[in-house]
Structure 1
């Protein structure tokens, strides 16, 4: 599994999903050639998204938007399927008789699982469990690798040093003391396990 964090806009960009200021690059948890820059897979292949949506609807009747947000929540914000993929998949599930539209307030269509949908989930339970585990593993990895606190601290350090240097009311000795403090912290970070 490979993740990289880069600034960018929201949406798919050549194998990279970008959400706000952080993008997450993945290859369906495996790079085909094992190296950065290799061929990448989509998050879901074939009918996998269909099974994930069916499972989430079986857990609780939902609107399309709710499904997108639930998947995003499972992945800790690392992945959210686009409406252009979710809504046609919901239409397919409805045409297959695995979900049905429920009465709901407003213009949003809310779907519930049918008996045929429950049978499909039962028949493919190991695959469905593996897909949900993949999503939650992505979320757990995202949580472990969230660099937000480190970025904040680095920003604070840069601001403090920049403000101090801009004031210019210090000696060369103070400048060397600042550099020594930064070097000391860098060495301590390198020794962390």
Structure 2
């Protein structure tokens, strides 16, 4: 989240509400980060001197990237690229009609796992079987 927020601030100075909107729009789906997630992230970036606060004309905090923040982003390009790619893939699966069957299958798997875990006391053997089936499905997909 820290790199993602810094990435958005690097694009243009932001108010905290703008950061929340940017992250929500980028991640897609129903996810919208809370102020309880964003504010500590912003505070961390400021403490690390990656951002600085400039008060706007209406006395709101606007976050700007610093030279140190730009350097950190540059040093973290590989990690940032992986984060951006992961969310882009997630958004594509959620929004592209060609992937509707994949999205539905993923949601079905999550729902069945939640249901199984909440309504049954699983033995170690059952947990191992479930994990093996998920691993096998992943291997089968990789081989496609």
TM-score by length of 2: 0.62
Q: Does 1:54 align with 2:6?
A: yes
**CA deviation profile, 1:119-162 (whole Å, cap 9, x unmatched):** 10011101011111222222222112698xxxxxxxxxxxxxxx
Instruction: Give the match for residue 41 of structure 2.
Output: 89
Paired residues for 1:169-184 under 5 Å? none
From 122, 134, 138, the counterpart of 2:90: 138
Bigger relative CO (Cα 8 Å, ≥ 6 apart): 2
Contact 1:54 1:117 in 2 (8 A): yes
TM-score by length of 1: 0.47
Matched, 1:70 2:45: no
Structure 1: gaps spanning 5 or more residues: 1-48, 148-193
Distance 2:45 2:27 in 1: 23
Alpha carbon RMSD of aligned pairs, Å?
1.9
> Which protein is richer in helix relative to its size?
2
Residue segments in structure 2 that go unaligned for 5+ positions in a row: 101-144
CA offsets per residue over residues 87-142 of structure 1, 9 Å max, x none?
Answer: 01101111110000123133431101000001100111010111112222222221
Residue in structure 2 matched with residue 41 of structure 1 by the alignment: none
User: Distance in 2 between the 1:85 and 1:107 partners?
Assistant: 22
Whether 1:79 aligns to 2:31 is yes
Rg (Cα) greater in structure = 1
Matched, 1:109 2:61: yes
Structure 1 residue matching 2:78: 3-state secondary structure: helix
